[in-house]
Amino acid sequence: MRVALHALCGAAGAAWRESFPLRGRDVARWFPGHMAKGLKKMQSSLKLVDCIIEVHDARIPLSGRNPLFQETLGLKPHVLVLNKMDLADLKQQQVKKIIQHLEGEGLKNVVFTNCVKEENIKQVIPLVRGLVEGSYRYHRGENLEYCAMVIGIPNVGKSSLINALRRQHLGKGKATRVGGEPGITRAVMSRIQVCDRPLMFLLDTPGVLSPRIESVEMGLKLALCGTVLDHLVGEETLADYLLYTLNRHRLFGYVQHYGLDGACDDITSVLKRVAVRLGKTQKVKVFTGTGDVNVIQPNYPAAARDFLRTFRSGLLGPVMLDRDVLQSLPLAAP
């Protein structure tokens, strides 16, 4: 099924918003506290591990990583796993810019993965093993086993990575609970075996956000990726930022998915059509001078939740939320 020609023509000629209204939005309220307790537990467990595996969302490869990870856990070899690569619009030039930028920050061991489909998962264990064997292990030098700590902000796929590694190397099922919302892993867990040769264990940890979000727009990107519960930001606010992003990127898959007449930059109009299309309406009693009247109204919050769920499941196509950041970076000569 293809988007109707008149919809594409209208979309191509439309003038989309060049900016998103950010004033009056309290990022601190979206990201309460700085989760210092979880970070302290990780620090106290450092003596038990040989390597750090940081998992982050490939749709925001340069946004939202917790800088405290590098500051407080940086003594150990560090692997960055950019997960959910299937949901990210990763063009070759963008991948080069991402890797160059991360190398400039001292991160030279980067793996793009899709833990659900186990793409590139086989790269992780050999990479960790090579880093550990090539580094000084301090008091763990006599240990024949390897142990790595899996860290990251909430809902980026830390538990999914552990489970995928277990399936790949041990042929075993889930060892950690996986969910589509933040807060599933709430405590530093006991060691979980993921490999026999070499004998390797991983420590799962709760998601820890940065104590300070740099900007409201970064907060919106993080929220779109599900790092906080939607209601803290507002489903309709998030849906509006998603619509703004899709239209700016000329990604009109939502028109086809919901069977709309054409692309639109007004979130109220889009959610109204989505609600009617999905049958998400509600009866509302309106008081008038001549009596009460029952009116059928679109359920805007329900339509916004479906719009967000559809985006997060990849049904609207891959999206690079850090596109503007990447466009501002120069591509170094090979």
User: What residues form the annotated binding site?
Assistant: 83-86, 155-160, 207
d(Cα 44, Cα 187) in Å, to the nearest integer?
13
d(Cα 307, Cα 298) in Å, to the nearest integer?
14
Burial (0-12, 13-18, 19+ Cβ within 10 Å), 237? middle
Q: Using alpha carbons only, give the angle 228, 230, 234 rounded to the nearest 5 degrees.
A: 125
Phi, psi of 129 (to 5 degrees): -60, -45
Cis peptide bond upstream of 198, omega within 30: yes
Residue 69 DSSP code: H
List binding-site positions for GTP.
83-86, 155-160, 207
SS3 state at 267: helix
Residue 189 DSSP code: P
Phi, psi of 326 (to 5 degrees): -65, -35
Query: Which residue, 177, 180, 187, 174, is CA-closest to 156?
Result: 180
d(Cα 169, Cα 121) in Å, to the nearest integer?
10
d(Cα 112, Cα 275) in Å, to the nearest integer?
36
d(Cα 88, Cα 314) in Å, to the nearest integer?
9
Helix axes 300-312, 267-278, angle to 10 degrees: 90
Residue at 39: amino acid letter: L
Helix axes 235-248, 216-224, angle to 10 degrees: 100
